[in-house]
Amino acid sequence: MRDRGKLNLGQLAREEICDDDSDVAAVGFGSHRGGVTAGDEWGADMERMRVPEAKGGSYEDVFHRSGLEDGILEFERGYGVTGDPKGDDDPLADPRGHRAIGVVYHPAYEGGNYVQTVLPDRYDAFVYVDETEALHPFDIEGGETPPETYPWGV
């Protein structure tokens, strides 16, 4: 994202909130297929959208084909998944596509949803869920009483 002149929330937090960027952990998420609740542009109404199977060769595709159903990878900054300084033997050292799904998602332009990424350079940890299910928000303003665990003020 930095190469495109854009910042993600993790980078903004590192630059604006903390004196020492080690106080912020950036966690990425990925999924092979499923559903998501998002808008097709900033400010658009939320809708449930189908997430197709991951593009061949992407992180999400590789994790799916490897048999990793759901899991968490943790990285040390400047080091690969093995804990050794990144080198030619690190399976995550080369950039590959990572599907960017967030508040905005464009299923019609699936190829454009991928960002070339080196996971250990971008995130401190990566959560992979093989198949997701779209969440539905609480109807706070429509009169439904939110559960006691609703995270106001957290």
What is the widest separation between alpha-carbon atoms in the chain? Answer: 57
**Which residue(s) pair with 128 in the sheet?**
30, 71
pLDDT of 112 reads 87
Q: What angle do CA 33, 59, 67 make, to 5 degrees?
A: 70
Q: Per-residue DSSP letters for 63-124? A: HHHHT--EEEEE--TTB-TTSSBP-TT-TTSS-EEEE--SSB--GGGGGGGEEEE-HHHH-S
pLDDT in tens, 95-145: 999 998 888 888 888 888 898 998 888 888 999 999 999 887 766 555 566
pLDDT in tens, 62-99: 999 998 889 999 987 655 554 555 555 677 778 999 99
Model confidence, pTM: 0.75
Given a cut of 90, whether residue 31 has pLDDT beyond it is yes
Given a cut of 90, whether residue 12 has pLDDT beyond it is no
Structure tokens belonging to residue 154:
């957290």
pLDDT of 108 reads 84
